[in-house]
Structure 1
Amino acid sequence: MKIGIIGTGHIGASLVRKLSEAGHDVKVANSRGPETIADDLLTHGARAVTAEQAATDVEVLVLSVPLSAIPGLADLVKRLLEQATVVETSNYYPQRDGAELLPEGIVESLWVSEQLGRPVAKAWNAIGSASLATNGRPQGAEGRIALPVAADRDQDKKIAMQLVEQTGFDAHDAGSLAESWRQQPGTPCYGTDLTLEQLPAALAAADREQAPVRRDIIVQIFTTWLGAGTNPDAEWGVAMARLVECGPDFQF
């Protein structure tokens, strides 16, 4: 499959490695130019390109950028064929993206879809970067982590779920974009590394009013102990997320 990936942060970098290793034709771009992309991202055949080239002649375009950068990609996304799938991995953090970026109460992925002027799938947003990089497992492995995938078009959901599986995680159909708030930061499935058996209960238990509160608590914990912009290791990050987002009654 021809895949373009825009963004080489922690999540984007892991997706470049995993999807190119799975045999896909991967082009990768960032905001600083192809000459700044690390050679270790290209080990399995991925190619460093400009953002314009990453969005040209691809079947799938993965956007792994801060939410505040999404509007600036709208013109690039217009280059895509209608049947191409756009997968976005972004999450809203007011401390990073700006407190006034999103209208109050809007679902993040619906806002992304509106900004880009086309349907999207939401995937890989509900896992910490350390877990994404190190905790993928073969299909059928005991304790394999499951990730929610939301989309409005069946074709987008099917492709996104297939790619999630190929990165080492069980894909769970989480419904439409309108329901994707259940996999946003601060909800019980976010960063908690649940299995396919546990994930549906976590999605059902999501509290839309409390999610932003819990999101900000997690950010404060991470910032206090690790410093701003530092990602926790997988074990510590999962433990904190489960404590704050799931509460004492959730069955793991």
Structure 2
Amino acid sequence: MDTTGHSSATSDGTATGSALTVVGILGAGKVGTVLARLALGAGYEVLISGSGDPEKIALITQFLAPGAQPVTSREAAERADLVILALPLGKQASIPAHALEGKLVLDAMNYWWETDGILEEFSSPAASTSEFVQEQLPGATVVKAFNHMGYHDLEDLAGRPAPRAAIAIAGPEEALPPVARFVDALGFDPLPIGPLTEGVRLQPYTEAFGSKGDAAELAAIVERFPETERGQEVLAALGARV
């Protein structure tokens, strides 16, 4: 597991050589609008979608993310270079999977039975929600990011003087450099922790969930996951599943 807190990218910040300039955010709730404001502040063009007609979120966008363009989920997916999933996980079926083929997708979602309902596929400690999202979006490259910090902290801690707050990212090695650059642009230190399977260390009920620490503090938390009560529950459940 890589917890160095740094990731090398190409000169324009991507793994493929094409710059990320347009960010699409699926979800116009608290997390989505905070990330929209941060991305706008970092100079990105931002497209944001809610459920259905973009007119439904026009006022929300105007007041909470001025400068972001309200569009349909499909348009956000098709036009964006990088897409952030910031909607309730229970609404994942509404994600336009076909439009996300070939796209870099950041999964900022979490499973909350209070809002999502009780979903059997996520009820086990072994459930890796970002791996589930990747299975639903086979043509996209999914990276887990921004899920472990609350929306208030995302806004309050962005751009904090050194040591900056850290955001952990988990996903395919080739996708981590452009994501790390994006996280850095939004005002956080990126902390690559390994492949998408490691995302279970960032889910609700883990010690990392809610972390506001810097890269060194967050790295230590992630590293000791197997020693924690939740970590042992997750590892035991994974062993039973295997």
Shorter-chain-normalised TM-score: which range?
Answer: 0.7 to 0.9
- Give the % identical residues: 28
2:71 maps to: 49
Question: How do residues 124-203 of structure 1 correspond to structure 2 at under 5 angstroms?
Answer: 124-137=146-159, 141-154=161-174, 156-203=175-222
Question: Post-superposition shift, 1:137?
Answer: 1.7
Question: Post-superposition shift, 1:119?
Answer: 2.8
Scaled by the length of structure 1, the TM-score of the pair is 0.75
The answer to whether residue 66 in structure 2 is matched with residue 40 in structure 1 is no
Q: Where do 4+ consecutive residues of structure 1 move more than 4 Å?
A: none
Q: 1:134 to 1:213 in 2, by over 3 A?
A: farther
Structure 2 CA distance for aligned equivalents of residues 17 and 212 of structure 1: 34
Structure 1 CA distance for aligned equivalents of residues 128 and 172 of structure 2: 13
Structure 1 CA distance for aligned equivalents of residues 209 and 101 of structure 2: 32
Q: Is the 8 A contact 1:85 1:159 kept in 2?
A: no
Question: How do residues 12-161 of structure 1 correspond to structure 2 at under 5 angstroms?
Answer: 12-37=32-57, 38=60, 39-43=62-66, 45-73=67-95, 76-82=96-102, 84-102=103-121, 104=124, 105-117=126-138, 118-137=140-159, 141-154=161-174, 156-161=175-180
1:244 maps to: none
Higher RCO (CA 8 Å, separation ≥ 6 residues): 2
Letter of the structure 1 residue corresponding to residue 176 of structure 2: K
Question: Post-superposition shift, 1:168?
Answer: 1.4
Q: 1:175 to 1:213 in 2, by over 3 A?
A: closer
Q: 1:101 to 1:167 in 2, by over 3 A?
A: farther
Letter of the structure 2 residue corresponding to residue 78 of structure 1: H
Q: Is the 8 A contact 1:3 1:59 kept in 2?
A: yes
Letter of the structure 2 residue corresponding to residue 108 of structure 1: T
Q: Is the 8 A contact 1:125 1:184 kept in 2?
A: yes
CA-based RMSD of the aligned residues comes to 2.2
Q: Is the 8 A contact 1:183 1:189 kept in 2?
A: yes
Letter of the structure 2 residue corresponding to residue 168 of structure 1: G
Structure 2 CA distance for aligned equivalents of residues 107 and 150 of structure 1: 12
Structure 1 CA distance for aligned equivalents of residues 133 and 101 of structure 2: 18
2:15 maps to: none
Could you say what secondary structure the match of 1:79 adopts?
A: helix
Q: Which runs of 5+ in 1 are unaligned?
A: 215-252
Q: Which runs of 5+ in 2 are unaligned?
A: 1-20, 234-242
Q: Kindly provide the CA deviation profile for residues 29-73 of structure 1, in whole angstroms up to 9, marking residues without a partner as x.
A: 101432232212442x32111112111122111110111111221
Q: Kindly provide the CA deviation profile for residues 82-109 of structure 1, in whole angstroms up to 9, marking residues without a partner as x.
A: 2x20111001122322333425322111
1:211 maps to: 230
Question: Post-superposition shift, 1:209?
Answer: 8.1
